[in-house]
Amino acid sequence: MMYPYMTLNDNTEITHSEMYPDGRVKVYIETPILNGFHDATCWLPDYSWEFHGYSEAEMNYFKKLIRDNAHLILEFSQEGGVLNAANS
């Protein structure tokens, strides 16, 4: 299951999975474009990336954004997402 984490001003959606048994969390970034999407996947905690369509500057932004938020994403991945964590 993927949980919503953040929506940016350009409608880019950032979601994350629950923590898998091996301790990894999938973070998915998707930006709508004409006739499709640009997307990127980051696996935490090792920060391995796959991406399609984003420029180097956009990826640098996303890499910093995920690094700055990784501790929260990892926490929320164990609590059923940010909405469930907020209701605890």
Query: Does the pTM exceed 0.85?
Result: yes
- pLDDT per residue as tens digits for the range 78-87: 988 766 655 5
pLDDT at site 8? 98
Closest CA to 30 of 48, 46, 52: 52
Cα–Cα dist 63/65, whole Å: 5
Q: Token pair for residue 74?
A: 């990892």
Radius of gyration of the chain (CA): 13
The tens place of each residue's pLDDT in the chain, 88 residues long, gives 899 999 999 999 999 999 999 999 999 999 999 999 999 999 999 999 999 999 999 999 999 999 999 999 999 999 887 666 555 5
Cα–Cα dist 52/37, whole Å: 9
